[in-house]
Amino acid sequence: MLGQRRPRSARRRGRRLLLVGPTLPTTRALEAPLSALGELLVVPFPGPAFDRAVAGYAADLVVVDVTYLDEARVRPLILHRFETIRPMVVFVSETGEGWWDDLRAGTSGPMMATDPEAICALMTEPTLRVAGS
Amino acid sequence: MTRSAPRRRLRSTRPRLALLVGLTPMMMRALEGPLSLRMDVAAVAFPGDAFEAAASELQPCLVVVDVTYLDEARVRPLMIDRFSRKGPVLVFVSESGRAWSDDLESGCSGPMETFTVAALLALVARPALTLVSAHPA
């Protein structure tokens, strides 16, 4: 992921973050830190609000709370729904387990921590430059 | 034979309200209209503030939980716990067509052979029969 940057258009318009189906504790934990990163939209899942967000919000980061969800069913569906927008998708739960899928880079992996700092770190622009660029 | 005073089940005195929890758009289209013809219907997302408020404040006789995308093993105990004092019939449905009912008043649970609006209504139907005395005075 080093050296991979979001398109200029995304950076210019400011980041858009989408929080999907959060429990109340997850909302309390993440709403303020994610709002500090950019424009945050919170939607329940499933439902028309989620469908509208997929179609029209162009999120850079999607955080899905799978505390009560069947992750085996939901993860493929979420990744499919965002395959054209290609955001960073993070699956978190109140158990503390997490998984991220960078749909732009095509990379995935487990998250050792799903606290707000760890999630926000996924959106941090790299400060390093490749030598000679 | 003389009739005794009619005895009605406690359920018949409750407000006729169905609470739809976390329905997918497809399930909402299938259930909301037909159910609302027969009873009041409220729909909330799960999890969230709306669900918490509904679970605390409403007195539904029927709660339909769409577990199409939910982990039923996690959600079913939570729903039973949240509604145990209100005694509604809980029905867990999914777009696969499978359905399971838990009558929190009678303590009866089991799979639903057919999942239709008529079958849902039958779960909370008021009894049309009244008890008569077996031993006339």
Chain A residues within 8 A of B52 when measuring between CB atoms: 24
- Using an 8 Å CB-CB cutoff, list chain B residues near A46: 22-25, 66, 68-69
Say yes or no for a CB contact (<8 Å) between B69 and A45: yes
Q: CB–CB of A73 and B68 under 8 A?
A: yes
Q: What is the residue extent of each domain of chain B?
A: 15-123
C-beta separation of B112 from B91 below 8 A: yes
d(CA B32, CA B66): 13
Nearest to A99 by CA among A86, A88, A85: A88
Number of Cβ within a 10 Å radius of residue A19:
25
Q: Exposed, middle or buried: residue B103 (CB in 10 Å: 0-12, 13-18, 19+)?
A: middle
**Domain boundaries of chain A, sorted by first residue:** 24-112
- From B34's Cα to the closest Cα of chain A, the distance in A is 19
Per-residue pLDDT of chain B (137 residues; tens, 9 = 90+): 444 444 444 445 545 999 999 999 999 999 999 999 999 999 999 999 999 999 999 999 999 999 999 999 999 999 999 999 988 999 999 999 899 999 999 999 999 988 899 999 999 987 777 777 777 65
**Model's pTM, two decimal places?**
0.82
Cα distance between residue B7 and residue A125, in whole Å: 71
**Best CATH choice for the domain B15-123 from the list 3.40.50, 2.30.30, 2.60.120, 1.10.20:** 3.40.50
State whether residue A48 sits within 8 Å of chain B by CB.
yes
- Rounded distance between C-alpha atoms, residue B91 and residue B76, angstroms: 10
Distance from CA of A98 to the nearest CA of B (A): 16
Closest-CA distance of chain B to residue A9, Å: 32
Distance CA A95, CA A72 (A): 16
Q: Is A127 a residue whose pLDDT tops 90?
A: no
ipTM score assigned to the predicted complex = 0.79
Q: Does A75 touch chain B (CB under 8 A)?
A: no
